Amino acid sequence: MQQFEALTREAQSLAEGGPSAAHARPPGADAMSAAEAEVAREMIICNACRYCEGFCAVFPAMTKRLEFHRADVHYLANLCHNCGACLHACQYAPPHEFAVNLPRALARVRGETYAHYAWPASLGALYQRNGLAVALALAGGFALFLLLAVAIHGSLFAGDARGDFYRIFPHGLMVSLFLPVFAWAVVALGIGASRFVAEVKPATGDVGASGPATAEALHDSFKLRYLDGGHGEGCHNEDDAWTRDRKRFHHLTFYGFMLCLAATSVATLMHYVLNIPAPYGWFSLPKILGISGGVMMVWGTVGLWQLRKRRHPDHLEPSHSGMDRGFIALLFLTGATGLLLMVLRTTSLMPVALCVHLGAVLAFFLMMPYGKFAHGVYRVAAMLRYSVEKRQPDRLGLSGE
């Protein structure tokens, strides 16, 4: 045994990289954050194993590389949907000394990229602070502000609005309040995403997206293809069993949100183009879209919240708990208060419900570019680069065992 140990030490000292290079920081890691260097370390191990190739896009993207620089790490982090499959299948997961936990390592970097690419950069730090309490306080604060404004106006419980929101807040006021907030969110996220693409593009083939690549990326993103485990039967939540629930509740939430957005857009068109001002009847397009969207959002966010509570702790980056839950809570509040408003709109409580709903919506859009919503934008951007890169000829000619 002594001979064995001596020779092992000898081999180790002879070989570059110290006693266990799988634990060392990879070359070029000095310019990286600790989280980025950890992803690069784990990727070297994964790239020598590759068992997870069929699960998602991260591993095929990995096999196109021998080294993992900062741009590669940012790209891979945002490709990951955190389905958990690779962790449960990993022969090198803790307690193995290689301690590979890719879902968490990538999640950590993902969080850093949101802050890193944020516009304006000084607001990037908000990602760290926008927890559940901040989200609720913001929504509550706005609601309170609006309630006070309406109360001063004397129409809070006036009861003569008869379902007409514009009696409470004139249409022009609502537009001038929400349009800048919404535009800000779009511009800020757009700049963040283009900064991300600018860094990642040279590392992913350095060519623009063709039509088929774009179509594939959008298809796979909006279908959440990579939450299906590669076999189409779902991803993981609390353990090594597959579940389709995460995908279902995400779809409900996202498409519910899109329906609500569509309701607003249709109403705007009706208002300005067709000159049909609100209120609209139960069977009008804005109502149908808005109510179904609201129900889906509430259903989806309740489901996601429940799943998150049961989620295997190793999947998650603990410091993201606030960002995740704050986002789900705001989405829920937006949907739920919208539905409440729908129910109460002909009662004397309408003005109160309206203020609460608008408070939630305002908080949601304000936090949009500095919260979990960003994941969708960066994910689609990464998926786009993936669809481009996979169409490029392979630079490597590997052959192995």
Partner 1 sequence: MNSPSDNASPDVLVIGGGNAALCAALMALESGASVRLLETAPREWRGGNSMHTRNLRCMHDAPQDVLVEAYPEEEFWQDLLRVTGGLTNEYLARLVIRSSSTCRPWMRRHGVRFQPSLSGALHTARTNAFFMGGGKALVNAYFRSAEALGARIDYNAEAVSIELDGDRFAAAIVRHKADDGSTREERITAKACVLACGGFESNREWLREAWGVNEYGEHPADNFLIRGTRFNTGSIIANLRDQGADMIGDPTQAHMVAIDARAPLYDGGICTRIDAVSLGVVVNRFAKRFYDEGEDFWPKRYAIWGRLVALQPGQIAWCVIDSKAIGRFMPPVFPGVRDNTLDGLARQLGLDAAQMVQTIEEFNRACRPGRFDHTVLDDCTTEDVTPAKTHWARPIDVPPFYAYAVRPGITFTYLGFRTDDSTAVHFNGRPSPNLFAAGELMSGNVLGKGYTAGVGMTIGTAFGRIAGTRAAASALGHDGADTLRIIEERDRAAV
Residues at the site binding partner 1, with contacts judged by CB under 8 A: 1, 3-4, 7-8, 10-12, 14-17, 19-22, 27, 44-45, 47-55, 60, 63, 66, 85-86, 88-92, 94-98, 229-231, 233, 240-241, 395-401
Q: How far apart are CA 271 and CA 278, in angstroms?
A: 7
Q: Is 32 helix (H, G, I), strand (E, B) or coil?
A: coil
Q: What's the DSSP call for residue 120?
A: S
Q: What's the DSSP call for residue 281?
A: -
* CA within 13 Å, CB half, 372: 20
State in angstroms the smallest separation of the CB of 308 from partner 1. 22
Per the DSSP assignment, residues forming a β-bridge with 243 are 235
State in angstroms the smallest separation of the CB of 23 from partner 1. 10
Residue 183's H or E segment, with its range, is helix 171-200
State in angstroms the smallest separation of the CB of 90 from partner 1. 7
Nearer Cβ to partner 1 (51/272): 51
State in angstroms the smallest separation of the CB of 1 from partner 1. 6
Report yes or no: 77 and 106 within 8 Å, Cβ to Cβ: yes
Nearer Cβ to partner 1 (219/231): 231
Nearer Cβ to partner 1 (48/173): 48
Nearer Cβ to partner 1 (96/310): 96
State in angstroms the smallest separation of the CB of 213 from partner 1. 20
Q: How far apart are CA 380 and CA 229, in angstroms?
A: 18
For the chain, the straight-line distance linking the first and the last C-alpha, in angstroms and rounded, comes to: 30
Report yes or no: 204 and 52 within 8 Å, Cβ to Cβ: no
Burial category of 140 from C-beta neighbours within 10 Å (exposed 0-12, middle 13-18, buried 19 and up): middle
State in angstroms the smallest separation of the CB of 48 from partner 1. 4
Tokens of 143: 């609601």
Nearer Cβ to partner 1 (89/158): 89
Report yes or no: 335 and 126 within 8 Å, Cβ to Cβ: no
State in angstroms the smallest separation of the CB of 104 from partner 1. 16
State in angstroms the smallest separation of the CB of 219 from partner 1. 21
Nearer Cβ to partner 1 (49/342): 49
- Which residue, 292, 294, 334, 327, is CA-closest to 308? 327
Report CA dihedral (71, 73, 75, 81) to the nearest 10 degrees: -170
- Which residue, 27, 192, 198, 21, is CA-closest to 119? 192
Nearer Cβ to partner 1 (52/146): 52
Nearer Cβ to partner 1 (86/143): 86
